[in-house]
Amino acid sequence: MNGAKGAAASATTSAATNGATSTATSTATSTATHAEAEREILFRVVNRVAIITLNRPAALNALSHAMVRELAVLVEHCRPDRGIVALVLKGAGDKGFCAGGDVREVHRLASQNDPRWLAFFVDEYRLDYALHTFPKPVVALLDGMTMGGGMGLGQGARLRIVTEHSRIAMPETRIGFVPDVGASRFLNAMPVEHALYVGLTGATLSGADAVRLQLADLCVPADWLASFEERLQRMSHDGDRLDALRAVFEPPCNIVPHAPLGALTQLILRHFDRRSGVERIVATLRQDLERDSSRELRQWLQTTHDALTASSPTMLYVTREALLRGRQMTLAECFRMELGIVKRAIEDGDFREGVRAQLLDRDRQPRWSPATLAAVRPERVRHFLSSPWTIDAHPLARLGSVQTAQA
């Protein structure tokens, strides 16, 4: 009888111990899962391919300075690692890859005369340049919203994947800013008229449009991307790695959606001729609006006209000139030019007012200075395009040097 009681007691103790262990394990797992969910950058390796995830889905994976710094560390960690043969960049959630940089934080720092806002751009541009020049294949999954700083990351990839959900744009002129993160280089992969159209208006492109305009390499169904890790695990490392990666991400029978911008090519060529100044572009749009036109044509004319007249007049002029200059520059030179423009725009330009009107107060009534295109003086445009630093003192002076490429 006592033996039975002892066995029962032992069994009870064992069950209690197992239960406690199970609870502890469950708690530890839950804590680890929660900790990972809180991290802004996730990193894992699948079949020798590093997968880096931007993990701020509630903010459409917008880049904070801490994220930029951590991404830079990870990229440099992967550079010499022989166990890693490629990188994949993706965004958490199903809304977007990356909606851009943390503009509100930059605005806050600049408004408080805190010089750390400049460090954000310096570090971001260095990271973007490192991706453009990375010696191993980089894949960027530009699914959903991909704007501004997200384009800076994505355009550094050798294989840029978009989907039917992709929304690609560089809408900086709307907040008194300039298309940056290398845009004066990567937008110029397309014909000059399209580069001016996209850069000046901030037009949102579909995934198919992005492929057509050489801002993406593959347009695939979003559902196909959901299972890419399973295919990645089976990827062979024999032969060309970029071809192998393309086979992972391209469906066997891929049907690319219709590119809406294709039907507008002649309009874009007419209105955004490189010989036309910004005032001329707006004038021709207004002239065509006054004529009898089809509903579709009028809609495009009105949307394009409204985008230009709502943007900072100064930054429209500066953006046009930067894009034209960028066609003759190296990537490193483009980054240096853009950083100078950014410094001018934030310190004595329209950036703070644009962010206030569009993102903070949201009254959509920015008080640009000057308020009209006609009032923008040529010397003011030249001021924005002149570097605030001497060549040697430029924060990105070493960008593009042999030492930087090997760092």
Region 224-237 average pLDDT: 96
Cβ contact 350:315 at 8 Å: yes
The per-residue pLDDT for range 88-99, each reduced to its tens digit, is 999 999 999 999
- Dist CA 198 CA 170 (whole Å): 7
**pLDDT number for residue 22:** 53
Q: Please, is 392 exposed, middle or buried when counting C-beta atoms within 10 Å of its C-beta (0-12, 13-18, 19+)?
A: exposed
The span from the first CA to the last CA of the chain, in angstroms, equals: 76
**pLDDT number for residue 287:** 94
Region 327-340 average pLDDT: 98
Strand partners, 46: 49
Region 349-356 average pLDDT: 97
The per-residue pLDDT for range 282-305, each reduced to its tens digit, is 999 999 999 877 888 999 999 999
Give the neighbor-by-neighbor strand order of the sheet with 86-91.
Answer: 41-46, 49-54, 86-91, 138-141, 159-162, 218-219
Cβ neighbours, 10 Å, residue 236: 9
The reply to whether the predicted model has a pTM over 0.85 is yes
In sequence order, the 6+-apart residues with CB closer than 8 A to the CB of 246 are 159, 217, 218
Cβ contact 126:96 at 8 Å: no
**pLDDT number for residue 294:** 86
Alpha helices in 259-401 (DSSP H): 265-271, 278-289, 295-310, 313-326, 331-348, 351-355, 378-385
Give residue limits of the domains in the chain: 37-406
Mean pLDDT (the chain, rounded): 91
**pLDDT number for residue 101:** 94
SS3 label, residue 237: coil
Token reading at 219: 């347009």
**Helices 295-310, 278-289: inter-axial angle, 10-degree rounding:** 150
pLDDT at 389 over 80: yes
Region 362-379 average pLDDT: 97
The per-residue pLDDT for range 28-55, each reduced to its tens digit, is 445 445 556 689 999 999 999 999 999 9
Looking up tokens 């801490």 gives 66
Lowest mean pLDDT among 18-32, 39-53, 246-260, 351-365: 18-32
Region 153-158 average pLDDT: 98
SS3 label, residue 311: coil
**pLDDT number for residue 21:** 52
pLDDT at 184 over 70: yes
**pLDDT number for residue 33:** 54
Q: What fold does the segment set 37-406 form as a domain?
A: 2-enoyl-CoA Hydratase; Chain A, domain 1 (3.90.226)
